[in-house]
Structure 1
């Protein structure tokens, strides 16, 4: 399958292109970029790949069958609808739209056109999350009562400022999606968002979201970027014990250090022993070895689904529910009331 990359900023260059290159059955056949610095970077990173000034120009060249939208969040809806109208299958970075109604419009457009729309919730493939998932599904924790999912980052520079951005829409959408993927749909949402007045506008800079799932289980998702502290933690409480994992995902660390997933497929996506989590049970605490996970599998599975007519690895219908929970969290924080979901 021939894929077009729309945008080549930090996300496109670091979190998309390396994993597309490592995926099976996918080739980058074009990139939409306009600034001189990005075009120069493309000549270095992807020599010989055509560069276009717009999505329409790339589609008119007839070289791509599907696209990935990696541009800033406020552009996702318009570009996705344009790609759908052009008959292209779409992977849209998170959040796929500003609000749930916007996302629903995109899903309906894809259905009407008969193309596949998936969300880039790549953190379902984070190695630390996949290890947590394997522990939960093994039954060694017994009945799951609650899971805490936390990321504190001393990282003012990457805060997406302004009313269209904010931390909840940024990595909050990933971590809420992880919990919905693991524990199932939400039944009720409580939340507290903290805001700051920045030059770009009022922005949520930290969040605490409590989701009661239809299963009766609970998840607590918290994050910040302005508290001068770094910590990534999963904490899962069950009837038979507790699992605790720390550290950021090894795949993100490796890519940002310049390592490419295609260079070492067999050794990719495995946490070093010092980053393994611990399973605490009565009278015992044992390290849990990291499972292997590969973000490139998202693109491999998407290309297969585009050819076979399947739903894809992250169907937009699931992304719709994530958007509904994000909207509910903002509403719950604004009103101080629990928001019930049907």
Structure 2
């Protein structure tokens, strides 16, 4: 199937293009970028793939699906235009600034009879794939409580615009992970860290308490201004606990210049974590190191193709993405009003 990539900033270059290239089911017909520097980067990363100057141009070139990875403030308009042109859409996260806008986009997709999905690619992070395998095994018993930490030492990558901030950025990922692990969220307690940047008030860190419909509770936190890079996942269940502190393996490797296609061509495994960072399962039988399962964000694009070509399940259902946005809305409101806020359950 034919696909167009709209936007070639760090997201397009490091977190979309390498995985599109690694999925042979897709033919990339063009990338929308006007920057001479980014056009040069595209020529190096994807020789022969043309740079184009508009969404319409890439659709006119035959794209059946477009991936929107432009800055958040431009995304909604482009999603609506793509649906109007009759193509399927992958929207980067956050795919909308609030639930009302997200529902507007969902309604537009329904009216157009086209697929709209959201790039929650961190479902295929190495540490999260491994955690899911532990949960599926049943060795933890019934999950009761979890902690998810995603700190990045990247102050320069914060989006300072109104309605942007870290909660809408990394928060969309880590909240989606918590929901995938423990189920839908019923109620939120939130604290956000705020600073003034570029004449706007922007959140640069958050700590969320998520009360899940299942009765489980998760603590979700992130910061980009703490001058530390830390990832942690701890889950407590009725039979024990599991804890991991793996790296952001795929992002680290992509930013270092590695790509899934070339790594595999060399006979190595993409997304593999060093054994000294593998997680530990603790039960009545003692502690056991759990070998990490290599993650691969290419799986998003493989599943998307199966969904469109073979009527398989989408990699990220739209109702799941809407629920994540609803949780983020509740977190904003909880912080502003200094109280717990109920979330509409899907």
Alpha-carbon contact 1:4-1:64 (below 8 Å) kept: yes
Give 1:74 shift.
Answer: 1.2
Residues 28-72 of structure 1, C-alpha deviations (whole Å, 9 max, x = no match): 1111111111111112211211221110122223x2110101111
Aligned twin of 2:163: 164
Choose from 271, 274, 278 the match for 1:272: 274
Single out whichever of 2-11 and 158-167 deviates more from structure 2: 158-167
Residues 54-103 of structure 1, C-alpha deviations (whole Å, 9 max, x = no match): 10122223x21101011111111111111111111111100001111111
Pairing of 1:188-267 with structure 2 (within 5 A)? 188-265=187-264, 267=269
Give 1:263 shift.
Answer: 2.4
Give 1:24 shift.
Answer: 3.5
Pairing of 1:49-60 with structure 2 (within 5 A)? 49-60=49-60
Give 1:160 shift.
Answer: 1.4
Alpha-carbon contact 1:116-1:311 (below 8 Å) kept: no
SS in 2 for 1:236: strand
Alpha-carbon contact 2:188-2:331 (below 8 Å) kept: yes
Distance 1:263 1:155 in 2: 27
Distance 1:25 1:252 in 2: 23
Aligned twin of 1:2: 2
SS in 2 for 1:169: coil
Q: How many residues align?
A: 341
1:200–1:47: structure 2 CA closer, same or farther, 3 Å change rule?
Answer: farther
Give 1:141 shift.
Answer: 1.3
TM-score (norm 2): 0.95
Distance 2:274 2:262 in 1: 18
Pairing of 1:85-96 with structure 2 (within 5 A)? 85-96=84-95
Gaps in structure 2 of 5+ consecutive residues: none
TM-score (norm 1): 0.96
Aligned twin of 1:149: 148
Aligned twin of 2:42: 42
Alpha-carbon contact 1:130-1:293 (below 8 Å) kept: yes
Give 1:172 shift.
Answer: 0.7
Aligned twin of 2:22: 22
Single out whichever of 277-286 and 91-100 deviates more from structure 2: 277-286
Distance 1:109 1:41 in 2: 34
Alpha-carbon contact 1:196-1:205 (below 8 Å) kept: yes
Aligned twin of 2:112: 113
Give 1:181 shift.
Answer: 1.4
Alpha-carbon contact 2:29-2:58 (below 8 Å) kept: no
Aligned twin of 2:99: 100
SS in 2 for 1:110: helix
Pairing of 1:126-141 with structure 2 (within 5 A)? 126-141=125-140
Residues 182-223 of structure 1, C-alpha deviations (whole Å, 9 max, x = no match): 211111111011101112411101101111111111111101
SS in 1 for 2:210: strand
Q: Does 1:320 align with 2:322?
A: yes
Gaps in structure 1 of 5+ consecutive residues: none
Aligned twin of 2:182: 183
Give 1:310 shift.
Answer: 4.4
